[in-house]
A = this chain, B = another copy of it.
């Protein structure tokens, strides 16, 4: 993308009403624009990151055997009356009346709707296991939306729902999502720790939150340091195999959010393994058995001919919130430092003297070569001053920069800068292009 044809409204000042660094940086880099309390437009740079996250989440859900669908944003109130949650959900649910005075709502989550889809089609245990997921905008009418996209009202969530015949099968589905989540967050450049969690309004008896550590985290968390050093299971994991060992390998270590914290158990850890920090919730998984299938009559015929309510779980990832979460975990004093997997562009090209024939030609060559290799590049072809170009490129945090100027070209070199390490190197253009190629 050529910057002169792009829409990247970067601003110098940190806006006064943004309390945390990710919100400040998202506004300064022109990633989002607020349109109302907790409601945002995703501008081009922000949308690219959001789409990259969506795609990684999609790939890892598919790999774990979940099947993608897309449920609507608006739902009928009657479904929620069946489960008993319509009154229970409270003011966070945005209630709507249509022109025919029917009660509707903007979905804050989809247990009821997906259970209705399921019961319309699935009648036999032979059609199980089934895991349906979607990535769709949700609405929760938070009383005090804040922290930008980290606690918005309209937000993008990935929510998956598993259906099984028995509690044991359901536990296997839970474990599959547990492992898929670890792989997903790892690909996003994050270390997420699964912690025993309260089940809240979703309900159920078994639940884990996936938490990333950041100074600005919304809540206090406590865990064994061993968990921070443990790699994700990896994408070559066999999801049809028994995964309980993979799960227990982690759940054997202490990790809990504030509400579930057991000070005595934590104190029993050797002191150098006790991590007490702030955390951001980026995923939450639940096993809740027949909580929805029973009242909503989502039953299947078992091998013995009996009709039984299906065993369910649900699995959420805060896709839009992750954009803020990643920035909280990945920034420095000059701006964002995107992990490779989610960077809006992989390389920024800076033309130090736009209009100079030699500079223009070298930049053009670099830009075309990267495009041809399928590497996303943002080419700063504007006539802004060099200092402003450097600051802007650092601020938006692409993993690599290639700086092309007349002095270097005279010596046959360009400068390559790694945004994360700050390391700079002068190289011939061909070598620079090889250097920035993703592994």
Range of interface residues on A (Cβ < 8 Å): 35 or more
User: How far is A75 from B73 in the complex, measured between Cα atoms in Å?
Assistant: 15
Binds B, one of A42-50, A280-288, A293-301, A332-340: A42-50
Cβ-based interface call for A254 (8 A): no
List the one stretch of A91-99, A206-214, A417-425, A426-434 in contact with chain B.
A91-99
From B6, B73, B76, B117, contact of A67 by CB (8 A): B6
Q: Which of A36, A70, A132 has the most CB of B within 10 A?
A: A70
Q: Name the one of B44, B74, B94 contacting A68, with C-beta atoms under 8 angstroms.
A: B44
Contact mask A60-85 → B, CB, 8 Å, 1/0? Answer: 00000101111111111000000000
The answer to whether B73 touches A44 (Cβ under 8 A) is no
CA distance in complex: A35, B113 (Å): 8
Instruction: Determine whether A33 belongs to the interface, using a CB cutoff of 8 Å to chain B.
Output: yes
Q: Which of A10-33 contact B (CB under 8 A)?
A: 30, 33
Contact check, B35 vs A47: say whether CB atoms are below 8 A apart: no
Compute how far the CA of A121 lies from the CA of B154 in the bound complex, rounded to whole angstroms: 23
A237 in the interface (beta carbon within 8 A): no
When C-beta atoms are compared, the residue in chain B nearest to A114 turns out to be B41
**Closest approach, in angstroms, between the C-beta of A407 and any C-beta of chain B?**
28
* Chain B residue nearest in CB terms to A33: B117
Name which of A44, A99, A141 has the most chain B CB atoms within 10 A of its CB: A99
- Distance in angstroms from A246 CB to nearest chain B CB is 21
Q: Is A9 an interface residue (CB 8 A)?
A: yes
Q: CB-nearest residue of chain B relative to A131? A: B7
A40 close to chain B: CB less than 8 A: yes
Residues of B near A35 (CB, < 8 A) are: 71-72, 75-76, 113, 116-117
Q: Provided the pairs A73-B73, A74-B154, A120-B33 are in contact, do residues A99 and B39 lie with their beta carbons within 8 angstroms? A: no
Q: Does A104 contact B (CB under 8 A)?
A: yes
* Least CB separation from A70: chain B residue: B42
- CB pairs A–B below 8 angstroms (14 shown): A7-B132, A33-B120, A35-B72, A35-B76, A35-B113, A36-B102, A37-B100, A41-B69, A42-B69, A44-B68, A44-B69, A91-B99, A94-B96, A96-B96
Nearest 3 A/B pairs, CB to CB: A9-B121, A42-B70, A41-B71
